[in-house]
Amino acid sequence: MNNEVTVPAKTGIKLRLKNGETLKVIDIEGEQVVDFFASSIEDGNEVLSTGVTIDCNESLKINKNQYLYTNHYNKMFQIVEDTVGSHDLLHPCCRKEMYEHFYKNGENHSNCYENITDKAKEEGLPLLLEVHPFNIFMNTKIKTDGSFEVLAPLSKANDYIVLKALMDVNVFVAACSVSESDCNGGRCKSIKVIVGKSEQKNSSTTAST
């Protein structure tokens, strides 16, 4: 049976996936960005790298059947289903310093960086100093002069993406906390994740919320 978890707005969870298991990320109401990050269970210093992903795919965009790579240039996930096709590999996690820089409201503001790193600390995992996530459903328009603009996501209610793990991983998922811009359509909302079992026997998945 699938393991289904609802992630409330402005919060995050940690999941453990085995090689071959899938993670379905669902935008329940639409226009909600999801910060997605992961580390190898075998080597906690091997983590998802959006920079390497851009390098290996030779593109600032990522599409169905392409791969997310680690900082060691290993394939970590494959996108096997995607109903939206618009995601972001450029932006870092929102964090209190970002809110202070842009909106002067960083103190005590919920943010994806802490929602991810706090889960890592709870699990006793290696310290994640820099978290550069795959921003699922984030709609970044890149202009011809090199500048960019963050627009409201194209995702509608119940749109989803499915990623297949290609190694045993700790996965961190945060429902983005930005309500000050069009990033989440101006309102932060809950998302849902469903872990699909691989065909391997005796596989197990755990989640902490």
Residue 24 in contact with residue 191, Cβ under 8 Å? Answer: no
pLDDT in tens, 4-56: 999 999 999 999 999 999 999 999 999 999 999 999 999 988 999 999 999 99
pTM of the model as a whole: 0.91
Query: Which sequence spans correspond to the domains of the chain?
Result: 3-201
Phi-psi region of 14 (alpha: psi -120 to 50; beta: other; left: phi over 0): beta
Report the percentage of the chain scoring pLDDT > 70.
91
pLDDT in tens, 59-93: 999 999 999 999 999 999 999 999 999 999 999 99
End-to-end Cα separation, the chain, in angstroms: 19
* Least confident segment among 7-21, 146-160, 161-175, 188-202: 188-202
Residue 45 in contact with residue 126, Cβ under 8 Å? Answer: yes
